Amino acid sequence: MKDKRKLSDRQERILEYIKKTILEKGYPPTVREIGEEVGLNSPSSVHGQMEALENKGYIRRDPTKPRSIEIMDDCYSLTKREVVNVPVLSNITSEQSLYDEECIESYYPIPSELLPNAETFMFKIHDDSMKKAKILKDDQVIIERLTDAENGNIIAAIVDDSVIVRRYFKEGGLYRLQSESESGSTEIIFASQVKILGRVIGLFREGIHN
């Protein structure tokens, strides 16, 4: 391990911030978060500092995975938590989309103990139809893959070739899919016209982790 005195003050701050974030949250910070922490506005400047840390042997990164930062002097095993790289999907139009490589935009690392089901995926919310449930436009929702749900669950489902997120209630052979917005609109749909993909178990918001 190389001597820490060879790090600049800013590099030392970045390294300690990465360690602190991993210890508290279980995963590394984003480039944007690192920049905000140490006063660097340019992502390229942050990448330059990260490259210096890597060249000096303090961290190791995997360019194929987002937020993949391993602390090389990890005496407290901060980065040894088991992490699942959850696929972030787009253009979900059917159940088959969940298994289509072309629908995978990226992967998001989440500590395995936070995921009740090994089969999990994420996608971005494009409206405020669930605002009162604290699910906002541009949030990335985490979906536990299920083919059925319990009344009151917030689910992701395919309706008319589009994915929606709604509060779910089963009423005989019908599903009541209820939004939680100012309008509070409700859709009553035959069960045969709905394909349940799973239930919402969490979300990530830009700059905030819930």
pLDDT digits over 85-135, tens only?
Answer: 889 999 898 888 888 888 888 888 887 778 887 789 999 999 999 999 999
Q: Note the pLDDT tens digit of each residue in 28-68.
A: 888 889 999 999 999 999 999 999 999 999 988 887 766 77
- The pair of structure tokens assigned to 93 is 């139009």
pTM: 0.63
Cβ density class 40-78: b for 16+ within 10 Å, e for less: beeeebbeebbebbeebebbebeeeebbbbbbeeeeeeb
Query: Which residues make Cβ contacts (< 8 Å) with residue 122, sequence separation at least 6?
Result: 86, 87, 88, 89, 108, 140, 141, 142, 143, 204
CATH architecture of 84-209: Ribbon (2.10)
Question: Residue 80 above 60 pLDDT?
Answer: no
pLDDT of residue 76: 47
Q: Where in the chain is CATH 1.10.10.10? A: 4-80
Lowest-pLDDT range, 13-17, 19-23, 158-162? 19-23
DSSP state of 28: P
Please give the backbone phi and psi of residue 115, each rounded to the nearest 5 degrees, phi first: -110, 115
* pLDDT, average across residues 151-165: 94
Closest CA to 210 of 24, 18, 202: 202
DSSP H or E stretch at residue 54: helix 43-55
Q: Where in the chain is CATH 2.10.109.10? A: 84-209
Classify 4-80 by CATH class.
Answer: mainly alpha
